[in-house]
Amino acid sequence: MTKQELVRAISHETGVDQSSVLATVEALMGIIKDTMSEGENVYLRGFGTFNLKKRAAKTARNITKQETLIVPEHYIPAFKPCPEFLNMVAAVKEVKE
């Protein structure tokens, strides 16, 4: 599902016009990004948690130049679904493509 498909579905479900729904979805994504860039997690009860995962420093190789690089410690965004969400996804018989 794309963002536009999500906006259409929410608009159809709620009866709110698509431009208002798009503005709300954009605001939600912006707030989640801003909050996480400040080092805070976002908890959505009944849906899941957007959290930061710490990746330790490591050694990597650039095989085209035959050199070793040090990748510094860093954080990456991650999503952990709530148990109800996990159960719903686990019940899916096949994935539509």
Q: What is the pLDDT of residues 65-75, one digit of tens each?
A: 989 999 999 99
Over residues 5-25, the pLDDT tens digits come to: 999 999 999 999 999 999 999
CA distances from 8 to 40, 46, 62, 95, 96 (A): 30, 22, 45, 22, 19
CATH of 41-97, one of 4.10.520.10, 3.40.50.300, 1.20.1630.10, 3.20.20.140: 4.10.520.10
* pTM metric for this prediction: 0.79
As given in the structure block, the two tokens for residue 74 are 């860093």
**Distance (Å, rounded) from C-alpha 83 to C-alpha 5?**
25
Domain ranges of the chain: 1-39, 41-97
**pLDDT (mean) for 19-35:** 97
